[in-house]
Amino acid sequence: MEQNLVSGAVNAARPSWDASRLVPRIVHLGCGAFHRAHQALYTHRLLSSSDSDWGICEVSLMSGRGAQLIGDLNAQNRLYTVAERGAGGTELYIVGAVAEALHPQSDGCQAILEALARPETAVVSLTITEKGYCTGAASGQLDLNTPLIQHDLADPQQPQSAIGYLVEALAIRRRRGLPGFTVLSCDNVRENGHVAKAAVTGLAQARDAELAAWIAQHVTFPCTMVDRIVPAATAETLDEIAQQLGVYDPCAIACEPFHQWVIEDNFVNGRPEWDRVGAQFVSDVVPFELMKLRMLNGSHTFLACLGYLAGYRTIAETVSDPAFRRAARSLMQDEQAPTLTMPPDTDLSGYAARLIERFSNPALKHQTAQIASDGSQKLPQRLLDPIRQHLREGSDWRYLALGVAGWMRYVGGVDDRGGHYAVVDPLAATFAAIHQQPQTPAERVRALLDIGDIFGSDLPAHPHFVDAITVVYCQLLNDGAAAAVAAR
């Protein structure tokens, strides 16, 4: 029999507690790499250091790899490995916080709804990415025309979207006289709790006004700020972890040592004491959230799009170029930091320096293409909102302009050497149609700016914004990303 985390000799400590101690009080939708290396690891560390019984029911709604991941987790008693990779070496942890793992393909949609409707379920956490909320990037409201939402309105008892599962589960709880639960978004979305609330209440209202009113009274949607660099797992990553671990773990994930979690303390039905293991509960997450979205995520998008165009395939490679490194630091410190209002003791210059250090970690192969994906969902909060502030104040935003123009070049699907690549984005077909038209560069910029869900109506009507983006876009076409960055 092939050795695994359960049966093999491993070079890491297995959980010290009996798995029967765990009660699946948390249901998590979106069993991806980030969650496994962040929230689930916090929960594991709480279990390791206390008598907590808060376990996690993992749910993946993604077909293909998602179904395979749940199957692999169950095959090894829901254990998996996290490899924290720093400049000084790698630390391995075998995580034992998962009490249950479900997928609609193997378990059926009713099993997932019943898990959400169980009396002991107190927190439903989410890592479903921006597009999983099915909200308009500009409006922030649920898009009722999204195919998944259309399906869930027509057949609510067989939901396909995460939002559909939440609303149907809450409808079941209401019918059974059970309390609500806390919906805890852990996605890199500005005011993610408000986005989750808009999506859930929007679908509930479309179904039943009384259900929407019950949710408003019995469910809370705290905002969170999550921070840890977690590249998508690759075959190379899994092989490297197996060499150190001693057995092959198909669910393993590598990440940086740094982690941060700031949570609005607004839980309707109890919560784990994550603050005992490093999380921070606060009354207002927004300042921390904006700091991370603009300085970390905004510079990530900047480096990913421009770095990929220039031929760099990882963030570490990109910031090894002195011009890109200098540009990212200037973007964070000179253009993003001034848009933030932080507690008095916050050192934004030090935060920027730490981010550059984290981006430079050679042990993390964080793919520029991965970070550049789904840019239409990310651009408004990471780059466009701070530009709006600079436009109001008349301050300098040259690097932000370069980031937006770089994204426009990236969604064209051709790098600076003429190489073609797939653009992964919900609006990929729209971008392809624009770039296939025989247009001048200025006309192409205008066509992209006319996508209201990204740019709204204000920016395309602002002559200074349109002119600045057009000039930089033409510079990227003529000179390439590396030269444009160096010229800044």
Q: Where are the domains of the chain?
A: 19-282, 286-487
Q: What is the pLDDT of residues 29-51, one digit of tens each?
A: 999 999 999 999 999 999 999 99
Token pair 């705290």: residue: 222
Q: What is the pLDDT of residues 340-399, one digit of tens each?
A: 998 888 899 999 999 999 999 988 888 999 999 999 999 999 999 999 999 999 999 999
H/E stretch holding 269 reads none
Burial of 13 (0-12, 13-18, 19+ CB in 10 A): exposed
pLDDT band at 139 (very low <50, low <70, confident <90, very high): confident
Distance CA 4, CA 7 (A): 5
Count of CB atoms within 10 A of residue 243's CB? 10
pLDDT recorded at residue 8: 84
Percentage of the chain surpassing pLDDT 90?
90
Q: Which amino acid is at 244?
A: Q
**Beta partners for 86?**
89
Residue closest to 228 by CA, chosen among 38, 369, 52: 38
Token pair 């998996």: residue: 80
Q: Are 146 and 162 in contact (CB under 8 A)?
A: no
pLDDT band at 140 (very low <50, low <70, confident <90, very high): confident
Distance CA 442, CA 421 (A): 23
Query: Can you tell me the mean pLDDT for 125-140?
Result: 88
Distance CA 230, CA 240 (A): 16
Q: Which amino acid is at 81?
A: T
Q: Which amino acid is at 383?
A: L
Q: What is the pLDDT of residues 397-415, one digit of tens each?
A: 999 999 999 999 999 999 9
Q: What is the pLDDT of residues 141-190, one digit of tens each?
A: 999 999 999 999 999 999 999 999 999 999 999 999 999 999 999 998 88
Q: Are 370 and 422 in contact (CB under 8 A)?
A: no
Given a cut of 80, whether residue 2 has pLDDT beyond it is no
Distance CA 459, CA 466 (A): 7
30-36-40 Cα angle (round to 5): 100
Q: Does domain 286-487 have CATH number 1.10.1040.10?
A: yes
Query: Can you tell me the mean pLDDT for 95-112?
Result: 98
Q: What is the pLDDT of residues 438-469, one digit of tens each?
A: 899 999 999 999 999 899 999 999 999 999 99
Given a cut of 50, whether residue 1 has pLDDT beyond it is no
Distance CA 468, CA 336 (A): 18
Token pair 């749940």: residue: 70
Residue closest to 466 by CA, chosen among 443, 432, 440: 443
Fold of 19-282: Rossmann fold (3.40.50)
Count of CB atoms within 10 A of residue 65's CB? 11
182-185 vs 123-126, strand pairing mode: parallel
Average pLDDT, rounded, for the chain: 95
pLDDT recorded at residue 52: 97
Q: What is the pLDDT of residues 230-276, one digit of tens each?
A: 988 899 999 999 999 999 999 999 999 999 999 999 999 999 999 99
Residue closest to 200 by CA, chosen among 220, 186, 227: 220
pLDDT recorded at residue 389: 97
Q: What is the pLDDT of residues 421-444, one digit of tens each?
A: 999 999 999 999 999 998 999 999
Count of CB atoms within 10 A of residue 258's CB? 15
Beta strands across the sheet bearing 224-227: 224-227, 260-264, 280-282
- How would you classify residue 134: left for phi > 0, otherwise alpha for psi between -120 and 50, otherwise beta? left
pLDDT band at 137 (very low <50, low <70, confident <90, very high): low
